[in-house]
Chain A
Amino acid sequence: QQQVKQSPQSLIVQKGGISIINCAYENTAFDYFPWYQQFPGKGPALLIAIRPDVSEKKEGRFTISFNKSAKQFSLHIMDSQPGDSATYFCAARFGANNLFFGTGTRLTVIP
């Protein structure tokens, strides 16, 4: 059973457009929600993260929107660039050390 449901599985966006990836969860005990970015042949790297007491967090072109009541959170990539083409994973932490990942979204940004 997938603890964190992620969609879409793949996404194609034109350069300069907005990329949006969505995640949903059921466990209200999750207390930390990171996003990881992974390039081919590399390990995932932490991109941005949010805690459930905040509704939005922005770092450069990357924004997390968090809706606690709906148990959903999303990653928005503004002004998407070809260099953003990668696989993105949302995740949620339960207790200490138990980090559950979504299934990933492969983003392709077309020049």
Chain B
Amino acid sequence: DAGITQSPRHKVTETGTPVTLRCHQTENHRYMYWYRQDPGHGLRLIHYSYGVKDTDKGEVSDGYSVSRSKTEDFLLTLESATSSQTSVYFCAISPARDRGGEKLFFGSGTQLSVL
């Protein structure tokens, strides 16, 4: 999937534990995004990054934090996981020639279950 690797692919965790999802890209694209996909909601933007150390909140950012210390890596952290954060998480990237939000390339997703 367009040089995007998400890890882990599947994770089961318990309520209250911290969880970090990793997105690694080999395309050197400027923009990186974290989305969650839930039935009846489509995909919703959690956070995005427009450069190293430059991030901003999306539509559903509460309970999530992100970090981007290198162009190729974008981390999503759930500080204290809750059952409502059970979802499929997708990382996406987009080249700098766009204003952002165009031509998104998605990873294969991480299925997270919070018990």
* A interface residues (Cβ-Cβ under 8 A, vs B): 2, 4, 6, 32, 34, 36, 41-46, 49, 89, 93, 95-104
Contact = CB atoms under 8 A, between A and B. Distances in A.
Nearest to B43: A101
A51 to B, nearest CB: 10
Query: Which 7 pairs show the lowest CB-CB distances between chains A and B?
Result: A43-B106, A97-B100, A101-B42, A96-B100, A101-B43, A93-B101, A99-B101
Contacts of B105: 45-46
Interface in B1-40: 1, 4, 31, 33, 40
A53 B54 CA distance: 32
B50 A97 contact: yes
Contacts of A101: 42-44
B25 to A, nearest CB: 13
A98 B58 contact: yes
Judged by DSSP, the binding face of A is strand
B48 interface: yes
B52 interface: no
A32 B101 CA distance: 9
Contacts, number: 66
Contacts of B1: 42-43
A42 B44 CA distance: 16
Contact of B104 (A6, A46, A95, A96): A46
Contacts of B97: none
A100 B60 CA distance: 11
A96 B43 contact: no
Interface string B95-115: 000011111111111000000
A104 B103 CA distance: 18
B26 to A, nearest CB: 16
Contact of B99 (A6, A49, A96, A102): A96
B31 to A, nearest CB: 7
B42 A102 contact: yes
B61 to A, nearest CB: 12
Contact of B101 (A2, A89, A96, A104): A96
